[in-house]
Amino acid sequence: MQAEIVMPKMGESIQEGKVLRWMKKVGDKIQKDETILEISTDKVDSEIPSPVGGILVKILVKEQETVPVGTVIALVESDVNSRVDTSTTVQLSAPAATHERPAGAAVPAIVVSVAAGGKDERNAKRGGRFYSPLVRSIAQKEQIPEQELDRIDGTGANGRVTKHDILEYLNRRGVTGVPSAGRGDAGTAKIDMADLARKYPPPNYRVAAMDNVQRRMAEHMVRSVATSPHVAAIDEVDVTAIVAFRSREAERFEKQEGFKLTYTPFFADAVVCALKEFPIVNASVEGDAIIYKTSINLGIAVASPTGLLVPVIRNAGERSFLVIARAINDIAVRTRSKKLMPDEVLGGTFSITNYGVFGNIIGIPIINQPQVAILGVGAIKKRPMVLTDEAGNDAIAVRSMTYLTLSFDHRIIDGSIGGQFLGRIRWYLEHFDFSKVA
């Protein structure tokens, strides 16, 4: 009996995915929950486990092809003793055109169904070009006529227009009033890779195209700088007490929790406390309106194999220190092992990036839109500092110090608010309540 493997729905906002790499080839035996392929969305790259064991009979979607959620991408024969034809790998000229599930159908993380003759709902082709139901609905809502839709450059398989393509087109059309033909994701002219290879020949050069996550990150960063007038404030913080506590309690904590105690939860806890006092820093801007968020959804930047990602800890303002520490460890492990779900990088209201892990002491991070501020944490270094006691006497002592950088959106956060907010983070770190870690 053959089971269908479909392009999984990795989150509510995800409508399509790109097959990056098949870990198995046709004819290979597969164990249940064994990784079968790696896919990419516009948010993250993820390794997908097989929901059934058996033999991979057919691969229906090639590597580097993008198809809508629900598309049948492979067939697995669950009866390993049956005689099956594994001699052919199906290549689709128009991915998802003949293997796409009905538009709007609910699709869990991965769907398995017995392969049988069912009715496929197929999206109409007009002018010889395929458009997914999602792209059609966006075009209809935005009143894009057929002739204009046909002029949009597509980055999907065979030049297919994706959701990202049409949204980028609308964004640029709204700003410039002209179509986006010939423009790339990051606002730069599209480059012909063959031309580049001729311009930069080996062995002196190596030309490589950005991968999916890199292109999305480039676009996001360019948009952020264009959207928000960035201002930065820098403060130095004495974290000697935190360093001493961590050194003293590290072994106990690891035995109790099963993972190492890092400095990140301390910074996260201080940020959450300060955000409760300065709700405007937890807001966003839409036009000339300020949107205040009632929940603190804390983004933690993590270096993944494919680039920097910012998974989100939701409702961090209602969580204890230990719960936040566990959540930080969990998202870090899953980000690095490509187990993160796309929706887990959405909905953040404030972000923290720790470039100190690489030994950098100061950095100026770019705001993670649509947020209005981001905190950068530098490396902790021992330095001689002048300390003043209550009597006004000065003394020099060796202290563990770090620099914190706050980049903020000057449209709604001025220097006074930004400085006070950063000062409160410093205060909570220098007066940390260690009973929270017990």
Among the residue ranges 130-139, 267-276, 409-418, the one predicted with the least confidence is: 130-139
Q: Does domain 230-437 have CATH number 3.30.559.10?
A: yes
- Please provide the DSSP assignment of 369-397 as one string: TTBSEEEEEPPPEEEEEEEE-TTS-EEEE
The number of angstroms, rounded, from the C-alpha of 256 to the middle of its chain's C-alpha atoms is 30
> Residue holding tokens 């590597």?
63
The answer to which of 23-32, 242-251, 268-277, 383-392 has the lowest mean pLDDT is: 23-32
Q: What angle (nearest 5°) sits at the alpha carbon of residue 437, between those of residues 436 and 438?
A: 95
Active-site residue, 410 included: yes
Residue 195 main-chain phi, psi, to 5 deg? -65, -40
Q: What angle do CA 104, 73, 192 make, to 5 degrees?
A: 95
- The active-site residue, picked from 33, 79, 414, 433, is 414
CA 413, CA 228: separation in Å to the nearest integer?
11
CB 298 within 8 A of CB 371: no
Q: What pLDDT does 332 receive?
A: 94
User: What pLDDT, on the 0 to 100 scale, is given for residue 48?
Assistant: 86
Is residue 224 within 8 A of residue 369, CB to CB? The reply is: yes
SS3 226: helix
Asked if residues 375 and 425 have their Cβ atoms less than 8 Å apart, the reply is yes
- The active-site residue out of 120, 195, 410, 433 is 410
- DSSP code of residue 188: S
325-370: per-residue pLDDT in tens? 999 999 999 998 888 888 898 899 999 999 999 999 999 999 999 9
pLDDT band at 284 (very low <50, low <70, confident <90, very high): very high
Residue 183 pLDDT > 80, yes or no? no
**Residue-wise DSSP of 309-376:** E--EETTGGGS-HHHHHHHHHHHHHHHHTT---GGGGS--SEEEEEGGGGT-----PPP-TTBSEEEE
Which pLDDT tens digit goes with each residue over 104-145? 343 333 344 333 333 333 343 444 566 776 777 778 777 788
- Identify the CATH number of the domain defined by range 125-216: 4.10.320.10
- Say if CB 220 and CB 389 are below 8 A apart: no
33 annotated active-site: no
Every domain of the chain and the residues it spans: 1-122, 125-216, 230-437
Task: Name the residue among 392, 364, 304 with its Cα closest to residue 40.
Answer: 304
Residue indicated by tokens 């974290």: 239
Where does 171-292 show beta strands of DSSP type E?
Answer: 230-238, 284-286, 289-291
Longest dimension (CA), the chain: 89
pTM of the model: 0.69
Query: What is the CATH number that goes with domain 1-122?
Result: 2.40.50.100
d(CA 229, CA 220): 15
| Residue 296 CA from chain centroid, whole number | 18
Instruction: In the chain, count H helices and then E strands.
Output: 9, 21
What's the pLDDT score for residue 142? 74
Contacts of 89 (CB under 8 A, 6+ apart): 26, 58, 59
| Conformational region of residue 187, where left means phi above 0, alpha means psi within -120 to 50, and beta covers everything else | left
Higher pLDDT, 103 or 293: 293
